[in-house]
Structure 1
């Protein structure tokens, strides 16, 4: 129960890679964290594989002061999330507040849109490497990269290392 008392928000949109949302969600709950799933509105979203995922709260209900970390899963959802000004601003505020911003796979698009990656080491799905580099980040092909309060991973197979890094960062 290393995360007892910690509050984490996980973002959702249609076409999320379900395992990249559900694995961290349950792993963080297992460690004692309170985890909320947030979407542009409170409704049921459909993942890439059709699995329904209900948002507990909407993006505009999130107060950065009330959470310790934001987790952004991949799939095609990040392309939709980054179009939402509230979600992009939240990502920037979490980062600027020194709170954990964790993203996996294509989710690097959200911190790119938030303008927080310049000079940072990150990883992500290989197809967004150019996007990350063009945003000023140094791309590292590794299962997990931690740079300050940023935690990033590439693919679902990296989820164990991704979650360990999030838990470690929140436990320090």
Structure 2
């Protein structure tokens, strides 16, 4: 179990991309990580865009970046709402600035964009936010997974196996 002893932060809110939250959540648990899924409220049920419910394990406002080894941001439309929360942006910036892994998939890139951490990074995403990433100073490429320093990015649910492999590899170096 490669991730034993590592703590992962994930964000959740309504209209998250079901697969992009659940696949990494269970994959990282399988590798021994402790995964905290923080939403606006603790123990609240949030519904994915495909209807799958997920209960948060913590509240975003109660989290501290120093308690985590990496951040994984699922896509869907939840990131557009979550990026309006100053605490989400603070946690994202602090985890990034500490050199810890920040991973985002699909529309999840909206959060690192709003946190101001994309300038000079090469990444990928859903084509729908390509312009947002480029305007934030990133170089966008169309690949299943991109690793640039401490960031991992992918485009869509089909890329989840490569996304999770890259997260685990980078986080266990």
Report the TM-score, using the length of structure 2 for normalisation: 0.98
Q: 1:81 aligns to what?
A: 82
Deviation, structure 1 residue 36: 1.0
Q: 1:143 aligns to what?
A: 144
1:16 aligns with 2:21: no
Deviation, structure 1 residue 51: 1.2
Q: 1:63 aligns to what?
A: 64
Q: What per-residue deviation string (whole Å, max 9, x for no partner) do you get for residues 44-92 of structure 1? A: 1111012111110011121111110111000011101111111011101
Cα RMSD of the aligned pairs, angstroms, is: 0.6
Q: 1:134 aligns to what?
A: 135
Moved over 2 A (4+): none
Structure 1's unaligned 5+ residue stretches are: none
Q: 2:103 aligns to what?
A: 102
Structure 2's unaligned 5+ residue stretches are: none
1: CA distance, partners of 2:64 / 2:79: 20
Q: 1:120 aligns to what?
A: 121
1: CA distance, partners of 2:108 / 2:82: 9
2: CA distance, partners of 1:34 / 1:160: 19
Cα pair 1:15 1:75 within 8 Å, conserved = yes
Matched residue pairs, number? 172
1: CA distance, partners of 2:141 / 2:50: 28
Deviation, structure 1 residue 24: 0.2
1:48 aligns with 2:45: no
2: CA distance, partners of 1:54 / 1:88: 22
Deviation, structure 1 residue 41: 1.3
Q: 2:31 aligns to what?
A: 31
1: CA distance, partners of 2:8 / 2:62: 13
